[in-house]
A = this chain, B = another copy of it.
Amino acid sequence: MKRFVGMRRENYGSINLNPIQRGGILTPAAREVLNEWGDGYSVCDFCEGCIHDIKKPPIDVFTKEILPEFLEIDSVRVTNGAREGKYLVMHSLCEKGDSILVDGNAHYSTYVAAERAGLTVHAVPNLGAPEYKIDAEKYAEFIDSVKPKLAVLTYPDGSYGNVPDAARVGKICHEKGVPYMINGAYSVGRMPVSAKNLHADFIVASGHKSMAACGPIGLLGAGKEYAEKVFRKSEKYKKKELELLGCSARGLPLITLMASFPAVVERTSKWDHEIKTARHFSSELEKIEGIRQWGEKPHNHDLMSFESEAYYKISERHKKNRFFLYSELKDRGIVGLKPGITKNFKVSTYGLSEEELQKVIDAFTEISKL
């Protein structure tokens, strides 16, 4: 059991380009509270029966005032993650055998949540290569044909970082009377997101993916038309919200979410800069022959996919074969690409400093010349 003592994180200190990692890096303010709030149920010292009512630390103000204002939605609860929020909504609104509608770029966890709830999933397909966009208008015909109990849109998706026209999908859903959920795991905490402007009845967010919090933690926002239903109380225990099993994210992840929150709000106001960074990165990489960005162009998000014939060709003659790209990047202090993959890769440039960005661009360029 010695191996569990003093475990080191091999990637610690490297530039980590993995899209699931960049938005979850703790802020200094979050690091500062780790020790004091690390013990098990530390947030429950002054609990009177419901995590969202706790005043010390100010979870009540955070979840009842600050977060609804931030997301522009009526009610917000913390959950154990975005997927847990999606399942919660599906389980509350649908019966086994019902259908839901999702976008063709939906995250696997949307499908898995639906399968757990016994639902049939229909998907509005994306428009194919090279942009793989979702056409918002298609939600109308699909709603007419599959009569879903819920429509879900991934905003943006985790494969291409496409930012679809969520407001238009919301309008269509409302016209057709279908509850509408946005999966904002890669948007909330990175870019400005208003559930109101996007006409969302539900929005899920991920603290560990995009809000500089320890995992696992997420948010679920609900409009007033549905809040009572999804946050309904237990019949036997009047203070306990049934779908949250009483209390959800009861521990340090919540504290780090709160501690990081002022910085997270601040950073969403600099989203233009992040888009500029991403576009610059994309155009620099596309200068390499045999590298092409997939997804929307010009790109509107820090998460990007690249087709990389250039690296595949090198791998065929490199002594490390298909592991050369991972290895060469690692030698340069850059991690986060899947080991063994050279034909395509996915990265995020979120929060990279100018210097780091240049280092990454230089690395990819150098490696293309091997």
Contact = CB atoms under 8 A, between A and B. Distances in A.
Nearest 7 pairs of A and B residues by beta carbon = A24-B40, A215-B251, A40-B208, A214-B252, A34-B34, A1-B262, A4-B258
Contact of A36 (B12, B35, B42): B12
B262 A2 contact: yes
Given A24-B39, A61-B3, A259-B4, A115 B45 contact: no
A227 interface: no
A120 to B, nearest CB: 11
Given A1-B66, A31-B35, A115-B235, 16 more contacts: A4-B261, A5-B29, A8-B36, A10-B45, A16-B45, A20-B40, A80-B80, A80-B248, A83-B246, A87-B245, A111-B234, A111-B236, A112-B246, A116-B242, A208-B251, A214-B251
A39 B26 contact: yes
Nearest to A114: B236
Interface residue tally of chain A, by bracket? Answer: 35 or more
Interface string A51-62: 000001110011
A252 to B, nearest CB: 4
A170 interface: no
A25 interface: yes
B112 A234 contact: yes
A23 B36 contact: no
Contacts of A321: none
Contacts of A1: 66, 261-262, 265
A40 B25 contact: yes
Contact of A40 (B31, B212, B336): B212
A131 to B, nearest CB: 24
A207 B8 CA distance: 21
B265 A115 contact: no
A215 B4 contact: no
Nearest to A82: B245
Interface centre among A39, A240, A250 (most CB of B within 10 A): A39
Interface centre among A31, A42, A115 (most CB of B within 10 A): A42
A184 interface: no
A129 interface: no
A42 B16 CA distance: 10
Given A57-B7, A250-B81, A262-B1, A215 B245 contact: no
Contacts of A250: 81, 208, 215-216
Nearest to A42: B9
Contacts of A162: none
B20 A7 contact: no
Nearest to A3: B58
Contacts of A207: 40
A30 B37 CA distance: 12
A153 interface: no
Contact of A108 (B3, B29, B237): B237
6 contacts: A3-B61, A6-B259, A18-B44, A40-B214, A215-B252, A252-B252
A259 B40 contact: no
B240 A108 contact: yes
Contacts of A56: 10
Interface centre among A9, A46, A215, A248 (most CB of B within 10 A): A215
A245 B84 contact: yes
A62 B7 CA distance: 13
Contacts of A259: 4-7
Nearest to A110: B245
Contacts of A243: 116
